[in-house]
Structure 1
Amino acid sequence: MIKLYQNAKGCRLRVHIITTGCSISRAIGEILKYRIDKSKNLELNSLDDADIVILNLCAVKKPTEDKEIELAKKIVRMGKRIIITGCLAESSHRRIRRQVPEASVVSVELLLGDNLDEILDAVYSGDTIYSIGHPLQLHYPVNTILDNPLIGTIPIAFGCTNSCSYCIDVKIWGRVKSLPLDEIISQAKKLIRKGVKEIRLTAHDTAAYGLDLGCTLVDLIEKILEIDGEFRLRIGMASPNTFEPISDALLDIILQDDRVYKFIHIPVQSGSNRILRLMNRPYTIEEYAELFNKVRKKLGYYSTIATDIISAFPTETEEDHKATMKMLEKLKPDIVNLSRYGDRPGTPSTKLRPKVNSKVAKRRTKELF
């Protein structure tokens, strides 16, 4: 194939990136932006002026997926060549091929690899590429174009130890794969030298960091805090069952070093033990409450504890719903990220019956606000 590396006007190929979803997805988008910006054959540009649009998309919820498919169709109607990557490419490639046949579907690993220019040139030349199932092999340090020059997000691990019945993450990412501690330290140093004032550690479950390496999140944080420079550290979401074993040591560090935000995000999802079992969450509400109260007691009321709730999970009764309301009233988390359940194709919870009536689901969700 002849490599053009230029558009119809004889200029470098103009590329626009749209990223949706979690902090991991956004961090990957920042790496990809740098790769494009520094290529001699490519340039970042606006959506209107772009020759190719890369959609780095989330797959966490079905309504989100529906909106993203409509976004892809809209961009195709604008006459743009498009590449869909990220979690949506891995989880919903068959739907994309049916509903957006003009789109190329490519694993993010390939776009971060050595053949980025060739892939984009082929797509601009009219090829439609389908190449998914390539696990991300990220190594630090890497260069980035940050959305906020003062905040640097570092994915420290991919995958999860849990198998929640409503979640697609394990199917996409597999079990926990932690990045080497020394590589993460190198990336943190790089960002701090760049002027970043807030380092954010992110993962599908930050507390699971190191389970595959023989170290812990506590070990990582201790090493990061040895870095010279003016910065603060924020710890991302942690599953209660992986957070609990390291909680004493981790809370001690947070208390001892003001550079670590007194912010803990431990999702509970429901206040009903019956629903937690159906969700395949590996803890009881009593165990969660004990952990929550430990965090509050140790860090004090000037700390921030965030949690997540899924309302109207399949088979949820009024009793289950009231248990969740009671739990929230008792624990009083500072932040509640509330979602109304929707089937995520490819997950076990789609087979659970009965589903909660939509009017009932809306009412219960409002009552939880």
Structure 2
Amino acid sequence: MQDLKVLTKEEKEGLDVPRISEDQVAENSFGKKVYIESYGCQMNFADSEVVTAILQENGYVTTSNVKEAHTILLNTCAIRENAEHKIRHRLQVFTHLKAKNPALTVGILGCMAERLKTKLIDEEKIVDLVAGPDAYRDLPALLDEVSDGQKAINVFLSREETYGNIEPVRLNSNGVTAMVSIMRGCDNMCTFCVVPYTRGRERSRDLPSIIAECEKLFQQGYREVTLLGQNVDSYKWTSEEGQLVNFAHLLEAVALVSPLLRVRFSTSHPKDITDEVLYTMKKYDNICKNIHLPAQSGSNRILELMKRSYTREWYLDRIKSIRNILGEECGVSQDMIAGFCTETEEDHQDTLSLLAEVEYDFGYMFAYSERPGTPAEKKLTDDVPEEVKMRRLQEIIDLQRIHSAKRNEMWVGRKVQVLVEGDSKKSKLHHFGKIDSNKVVVFPKGNEVKGDYVFVNVTHCTSGTLLGELC
């Protein structure tokens, strides 16, 4: 069990998570009101929308005001050690809240719940409920157990559960963009990754329920959907008539909902993305020309240790196909890990050279964090010193920043179509939205409203944002 110190006021204020003060807690129960916080990837945020739908069907209501809540649920991530540290710090804050309100129920959902199981209840006495990603239908029953004075846990992993028949409740929605889960789990046993152990094996949601959800979203005024999966390219579903539907077929079916409905997807796996998918993207203007294609490393030796099932050469061939079929304007982003087990300076230089050859638009870059229970933790040695990891990570970030700026500069002086998503974070006098390749554009407001498509002349840019004027 890890000893956790009491946080100082300054430490609490420094936490990079949503915060609430102790005086916000209620002195008594307010009934079936639930407050949900989500952490980690888009899949977790989409799962929270499923959780909300299940709870509402069973008489619960959600609240954004924690002082009204009888139950607090944290939907957690376990991909990196820092993600779990954030949750443990958050639980310390709730310890103070529960001291003022003993009726408060605290539950941990998601990947951290699945990874630690009963350890969470043993190590964090404040935790009353633990539910893995496939146990959300059981949440009302688990909450009833807690109401009866028991601790409740369900971390059963399913080979069938997709929540396909549940209509998610959109949380913190801008009313324009929405996430649509198309599959769950992962069959790629990358040595560094906990996902196969926390989200189970791969299974695809049925096509009709996906299309029905997208059609309803469009009717409600949404103008962009992002199809989510750990590895969307391996989507496979067979109809009752025996027709096999792959990801390219699914993309086309969603694109046909309406030409005014933009379609995005995440995440692709380099070993599985096909030219059929790329040509389908080219065929439909409303399928956004943007691909997130995690590389993780530019070294063949490290890729083999990671069991990524492709080589550097294979990866670069996929990039070549993306550029040839979809054009240089197609946005491409990456995931990169610095300092994986036994990584040498030569391996690191291979990663930098991959970055230089591809010139990504954007990237998610991290220092390697060993996760308990993974093949890497069991069979490999995490032997790269922390200071070396951080230096290599900074070099990757610095190079990516240069490429992001370069890729943005290519849009300066051009007219682009933007889907308006809302007010700019920095000014209520400006709107922001994204172009086809997923770049953010900020521009002074005109008569447009959220959900409109507008044309903007890009006048200048930063490494992260395009700036312009309405045409």
Alignment partner of 1:339 is 2:366: yes
> 1:37, CA displacement in angstroms?
4.5
The corresponding residue for 1:123 is 146
* RMSD of aligned Cα (Å): 2.2
Partner in structure 1 of residue 83 of structure 2: 64
Does 2:264 align with 1:264? no
C-alpha change, 1:250 and 1:229, in structure 2 (3 Å) is closer
The structure with the greater share of residues assigned to strand is 2
Q: TM-score, normalised by structure 1?
A: 0.90
Question: Structure 2: how far apart are the matches of 1:326 and 1:254?
Answer: 28
Match of 1:202 in 2: 228
Q: What corresponds to 1:356 in structure 2?
A: 384
Counterpart code for 2:387: K
The structure that is helix-richer by fraction is 1
Change beyond 3 A, Cα 1:231–1:349: same
Matched-pair contact (CA < 8 Å) for 2:134–2:156? no
Which among 9, 25, 32 is matched to residue 44 of structure 2?
25
Partner of 1:301: 328
How far has the Cα of 1:36 moved from its partner? 3.6
Shift of 1:83: 0.8
CA deviations over 1:139-179 (Å, ceiling 9, x no partner): 23514124322112111111223110000111123332001
1:236-286 Cα offsets, whole Å, 9 max, x none, are 11111111xxx2222122222110110011111101000001101100001
CA distance in 1, matches of 2:28, 2:387: 54
Kindly indicate whether residue 165 of structure 2 is the aligned counterpart of residue 140 of structure 1. Answer: yes
Contact 1:58 1:86 survives alignment (8 Å)? yes
Amino acid at match of 2:266: G
Matched, 1:99 2:118: no
Alpha-carbon distance in structure 2 between the residues aligned to 1:292 and 1:273: 16
Query: CA offset at residue 293 of structure 1?
Result: 1.5
- Counting only pairs closer than 5 Å after superposition, residues 269-284 of structure 1 correspond to structure 2 as 269-284=296-311
Aligned partner letter, 2:93 = K
State the match for 1:169 in structure 2. 195
Q: Aligned pair count? A: 358
When Rg is computed on C-alpha atoms for both structures, the one with the higher figure is 2
Are 2:387 and 1:368 equivalent residues in the alignment?
no
Structure 2 CA distance for aligned equivalents of residues 43 and 176 of structure 1: 30
Q: CA offsets per residue over residues 42-92 of structure 1, 9 Å max, x none?
A: 442412332210111111111211221221232132113201111111112
- Worse-matched range after superposition: 201-210 or 148-157: 148-157
Moved over 4 A (4+): 7-11
Shift of 1:123: 2.4
For 1:165 and 1:151, how far apart are their aligned partners in 2?
34
Give, in whole Å, the separation in 2 of the partners of 1:161 and 1:310.
20
Give 1:188's match in structure 2, choosing from 214, 223, 226.
Answer: 214
Moved more, 101-110 or 160-169: 101-110
C-alpha distance in structure 2 between counterparts of 1:141 and 1:133, whole Å: 19
Instruction: Choose between structure 1 and 2 for higher RCO, CA contacts under 8 A separated by at least 6 residues.
Output: 1
TM-score with structure 2 length normalisation? 0.72
Unaligned runs of 5+ in 1: 1-6
